[in-house]
Structure 1
């Protein structure tokens, strides 16, 4: 992922906070065997310190690929919108001559994958995930010897993705003038399509923090 200086995360807390705000669905990418395309799996995940926790169905073809190469990537992208060229026009440039762009936030992890097969360890992994996704505890106990989860555990395998590197990008034209970025926030909010509003929120947050970009 190419990151311009003005698109980089301002600190680790920025991308960590962004993930914690509900960006917990991403793409697991596994190299697999030589001569085969990477396997890409969309899935929810849970952050546990420097580890990402995932579980997938046992028949998933990803397992053979991970056993062949445990070096994997995990990518999360959200708060994205298409920005038309005229929105980015400088005062002395015809609006139709300006180049459009995409706004988005993305966090990409490089990880070492560890398969979790031991029943008690799988149950603990699921408990950690449910503590995140269903914190009210509105589910049956997750235990090896209790239904319903006990009888379903053999049908899944867990993944502990040990993070070795993180690259975060917040692409919101932060190198453009404050007035232009402020106007784009307005335009996104008024257009209100797809993820325009959360994209506007991210651009406004970065604008408030950065102000005028200084190299």
Structure 2
């Protein structure tokens, strides 16, 4: 993605936090005609080391995307964090224009399909553990026949991250806007409040 240097975050811990906080991602790869195919889906991040990230997810078997991954394993995953409009009213002068602030992570990945039942079951338990741990017992109680039917209806995948970009666009280069921007975002929508929290994390809230 387009990456002005003032918005480029190289700390992978920031990227990991964004991926965990906003796990509903866009998986993008090429179809058999060379056109982009996008599937929106939740992904689980596995940090195996500071520079070793792996994402896990699955799609419905009728979704042809898994076949595209099988033929062309290299793909892109996009995570979008909080985002919001920024009014030029936060500046002390009038010669300004509106903008949009946002946080995003793009991962280049190499895909491996997960088709064996036990490995797919482990994958589903990862998702359950992240989103609703209490459901794990209900899943076990549904019985092996039902579980097998459900597992047979999906194809899982392991996405090894081979490159990563993390963009945090919070007007870092316009310090004169930060105090008013933090005040506006702190009283705004859930996304705006989340951006205010990120300003705090990055030490921007007290600047004016």
* Worse-superposed segment, 102-111 or 128-137: 128-137
In the other structure, the counterpart of 1:207 is 203
In the other structure, the counterpart of 1:26 is 25
Count residues in correspondence.
202
Write out per-residue CA displacement over residues 166-198 of structure 1, whole angstroms, 9 at most, x where no aligned residue: 110110011122x521210101223x2352111
8 Å contact kept, 1:33–1:69: no
In terms of fraction of residues, the more strand-rich structure is 2
Rounded to whole Å, the distance in 2 between the matches of 1:126 and 1:211 is 44
State which of 61, 64, 68 in structure 1 corresponds to 2:67.
Answer: 64
* Worse-superposed segment, 165-174 or 25-34: 25-34
Rounded to whole Å, the distance in 2 between the matches of 1:116 and 1:162 is 13
8 Å contact kept, 1:117–1:157: yes
TM-score, structure 2 as length reference: 0.87
In the TM superposition, residue 203 of structure 1 has moved relative to its aligned partner by 2.2
TM-score, structure 1 as length reference: 0.84
8 Å contact kept, 2:199–2:205: no
Q: Cα 1:194–1:154, aligned 2, differ >3 Å: closer, same or farther?
A: same
In the other structure, the counterpart of 1:196 is 192
Rounded to whole Å, the distance in 1 between the matches of 2:73 and 2:86 is 38
In the TM superposition, residue 139 of structure 1 has moved relative to its aligned partner by 2.8
State which of 96, 100, 103 in structure 1 corresponds to 2:101.
Answer: 103
In the other structure, the counterpart of 1:119 is 117
In the TM superposition, residue 5 of structure 1 has moved relative to its aligned partner by 2.0
Rounded to whole Å, the distance in 1 between the matches of 2:173 and 2:121 is 47
In the other structure, the counterpart of 1:43 is 41
In the other structure, the counterpart of 1:7 is 7
Where in structure 1 are there 5+ consecutive unaligned residues?
A: none
- Please state if 1:78 is matched with 2:81: yes
Q: Cα 1:28–1:75, aligned 2, differ >3 Å: closer, same or farther?
A: same
In the other structure, the counterpart of 1:158 is 156
